[in-house]
Structure 1
Amino acid sequence: MTNVELFARADSWFQSQQWQVFPFQKETWEHYLAGKNGLLNAPTGSGKTYALWIPIVLEQIRARSRSAKAKTGIKAIWITPLRALSVEIKQAAERVIEGFQLDLTVGIRTGDTAEAERRKQQKQLPDLLITTPESLQLMLASKDYAQRLAHCQAVVIDEWHELLGTKRGVQMELALSRMKTIAPNLRIWGISATIGNLEQAREVLLGLDSKTNEKAVLVQANIQKQIEVYAILPETMDAYPWRGHMGLHLLDEVAAIVKRSKTTLIFTNVRSACEIWFQQLLDRYPEFAGEIAMHHGSIAKETRLWVEQAIRDEQLKVVVCTSSLDLGVDFAPVETIIQIGGPKGVARFMQRAGRSGHQPGKKSVIYFLATHAMELIEASALQKAVKHTLVEDRIPYLNSFDVLVQYLTTLAVSDGFYPNEIRQEVQNTFCFQAMTDEEWRWILNFISKGGQSLQAYDEFKKVEIEADGKFKVNSRKIAMHHRMQIGTIVGDVSLQVKFLGGGYIGSIEEYFISRLKPGDIFQFGGRRLELYQIKNMQVLVRNATGSGKAKLASWLGGRLSFSAQMSQLLREELYRANTSDLSVELAAMEPVFTRQRRESIVPSSNEFLIETFKTREGYHSLFYPFEGRFVHEALASLLAYRISLLTPISFSLAYNDYGFELLSDQPIDLESVIDNNLFSASYVHQDLQSSLNATEMAKRKFRDIAVISGLVFTGYPGKLIKTKHLQGSSQLFFEVFRDYEPDNLLLQQAIRETFEHQLEEGRVILALERINQQNIVVKECSKPTPFSFPIITDRLREKLSSETLADRIAKMTASFMK
Structure 2
Amino acid sequence: MLSSSTLQDPELFHIAKNWFQEQNWTPFPFQKETWKVFLDGKHGLLNAPTGSGKTYALWFPIVLNYIKNHPDYKTKHKKGLKAIWITPLRALSQEIKQSAERITQDLDTQMTVGIRTGDTSTKERAKMRTNMPDLLITTPESLHLLLSSKGYAKTFKDCTAIVVDEWHELLGSKRGVQMELGLSRLKTVCKELRIWGISATIGNLEQAREVLLGPTSPELENSVLIKANLNKKITVKSIIPKEMETFPWRGHLGLHLLDQVIPIIKKSRTTLLFTNTRSQCEIWFQKILEKYPEFAGEMAMHHGSINKETRLWVEQAIRNESLKAVVCTSSLDLGVDFAPVETVVQIGGPKGVARFLQRAGRSGHRPGKESVIYFLPTHAMELIEASAMQKAVLNSAVEDRIPYLNSFDVLIQYLTTLAVSDGFYPDEIYPEIKQTFCFQAISDEQWQWLLNFLVMGSQSLKTYDEYKKVEVKNDGKFVVNSRMVAMRHRFQIGTIVGDASISVRYQKGGYIGTIEEYFISKLSPGDVFTFAGRNLEFIRIQGMSAHVRNSNKRTNKVPSWMGGRLSFSAKMSELLRQELYTAELDISEQSEEIQALEQMFSKQREESIVPQPHQFLIETFKTRDGFHHMFYPFEGRAIHEGMSSLLAYRISLLSPITCSLAFNDYGFELLSDREIDIQEVLDNNLFTPEYMLSDLQKSLNSNEMARRKFRDIAVISGMVFTGQPGKGIKMKHLQSSSQLLFDVFRDFEDDNLLYQQAYTETFEHQLEEGRLRLALERIAQQEIVWKQCSQPTPFSFPIITDRLREKLSNEKLADRIKKMMAKLTK
1:665 corresponds, among 670, 673, 676, to: 673
Secondary structure class of the residue paired with 1:762: helix
- How far apart are 1:247 and its partner, in Å? 0.8
- How far apart are 1:557 and its partner, in Å? 6.2
**In the alignment, which residue of structure 2 is the partner of 1:158?**
165
Does 1:59 find its partner at 2:65? yes
- How far apart are 1:739 and its partner, in Å? 1.2
- How far apart are 1:216 and its partner, in Å? 0.9
- Note the alpha carbon deviations across 1:693-725, whole angstroms, 9 max, x for none: 111111111111111111111122332222222
Secondary structure class of the residue paired with 2:70: helix
Does 1:137 find its partner at 2:144? yes
**Structure 1 range deviating more: 334-343 or 786-795:** 786-795
Does 1:176 find its partner at 2:176? no
Does 1:13 find its partner at 2:8? no
Does 1:401 find its partner at 2:402? no
**In the alignment, which residue of structure 2 is the partner of 1:687?**
695
Matches within 5 A, 1:592-671: 592-671=600-679
**In the alignment, which residue of structure 2 is the partner of 1:200?**
207
Matches within 5 A, 1:536-575: 556=562, 558-575=564-581
**In the alignment, which residue of structure 2 is the partner of 1:380?**
387
Does 1:94 find its partner at 2:101? yes
Mapped to 1, the partners of 2:143 and 2:777 lie a distance apart of: 44
**In the alignment, which residue of structure 1 is the partner of 2:194?**
187
Amino acid at match of 2:316: Q
1:351 corresponds, among 349, 355, 358, to: 358
Does 1:116 find its partner at 2:133? no
**Kept in 2: contact 1:241–1:373 (CA 8 A):** yes
- How far apart are 1:225 and its partner, in Å? 1.3
- How far apart are 1:558 and its partner, in Å? 4.3
Mapped to 1, the partners of 2:501 and 2:720 lie a distance apart of: 19
- How far apart are 1:340 and its partner, in Å? 0.4
- Note the alpha carbon deviations across 1:584-631, whole angstroms, 9 max, x for none: 110111111111111100000000000011111111110000011111
**Kept in 1: contact 2:248–2:797 (CA 8 A):** yes
Q: Number of residue pairs matched?
A: 768
Change (3 A) 1:58 1:24: same
Mapped to 2, the partners of 1:800 and 1:815 lie a distance apart of: 20
**Kept in 1: contact 2:321–2:340 (CA 8 A):** yes
- How far apart are 1:737 and its partner, in Å? 1.1
- How far apart are 1:460 and its partner, in Å? 1.8
Mapped to 2, the partners of 1:150 and 1:10 lie a distance apart of: 27
- How far apart are 1:508 and its partner, in Å? 4.9
**In the alignment, which residue of structure 1 is the partner of 2:438?**
431
**In the alignment, which residue of structure 2 is the partner of 1:583?**
591
- Note the alpha carbon deviations across 1:242-275, whole angstroms, 9 max, x for none: 1111111111110011111111000111111111
**Kept in 1: contact 2:470–2:481 (CA 8 A):** yes
Does 1:219 find its partner at 2:195? no
Mapped to 2, the partners of 1:4 and 1:494 lie a distance apart of: 54
Gaps of 5+ in 1: 496-505, 513-524, 526-552
- How far apart are 1:111 and its partner, in Å? 1.2
**Structure 1 range deviating more: 188-197 or 16-25:** 16-25
**In the alignment, which residue of structure 1 is the partner of 2:112?**
105
Mapped to 1, the partners of 2:680 and 2:280 lie a distance apart of: 44
Amino acid at match of 1:633: E
Secondary structure class of the residue paired with 2:246: coil
**Structure 1 range deviating more: 416-425 or 793-802:** 793-802
**Kept in 2: contact 1:492–1:509 (CA 8 A):** no
**In the alignment, which residue of structure 2 is the partner of 1:518?**
none
- How far apart are 1:509 and its partner, in Å? 7.7
Q: Percent identity over the alignment?
A: 69
- How far apart are 1:31 and its partner, in Å? 0.8
Matches within 5 A, 1:669-748: 669-748=677-756
- Note the alpha carbon deviations across 1:455-505, whole angstroms, 9 max, x for none: 22222221111111111111111111111111243123599xxxxxxxxxx
**Kept in 2: contact 1:623–1:660 (CA 8 A):** yes
Length-normalised TM-score, structure 2: 0.91
Gaps of 5+ in 2: 1-6, 503-515, 523-528, 530-558
Mapped to 1, the partners of 2:215 and 2:737 lie a distance apart of: 37
* RMSD between aligned residues: 1.8
**Kept in 2: contact 1:263–1:317 (CA 8 A):** yes
Mapped to 1, the partners of 2:725 and 2:307 lie a distance apart of: 20
1:443 corresponds, among 416, 435, 450, to: 450
Change (3 A) 1:557 1:804: farther
Change (3 A) 1:279 1:489: closer
- How far apart are 1:554 and its partner, in Å? 9.6
Mapped to 2, the partners of 1:800 and 1:444 lie a distance apart of: 53
**In the alignment, which residue of structure 2 is the partner of 1:529?**
none
Matches within 5 A, 1:350-499: 350-493=357-500
Length-normalised TM-score, structure 1: 0.92
Secondary structure class of the residue paired with 2:670: strand
Matches within 5 A, 1:19-34: 19-34=25-40
**Kept in 2: contact 1:63–1:70 (CA 8 A):** no
Mapped to 2, the partners of 1:507 and 1:614 lie a distance apart of: 39
Does 1:324 find its partner at 2:338? no
**In the alignment, which residue of structure 1 is the partner of 2:556?**
none
Amino acid at match of 2:58: L
Amino acid at match of 1:132: T
Mapped to 1, the partners of 2:116 and 2:683 lie a distance apart of: 62
Amino acid at match of 1:337: V
**In the alignment, which residue of structure 1 is the partner of 2:764?**
756
Change (3 A) 1:69 1:290: closer
Amino acid at match of 2:26: Q
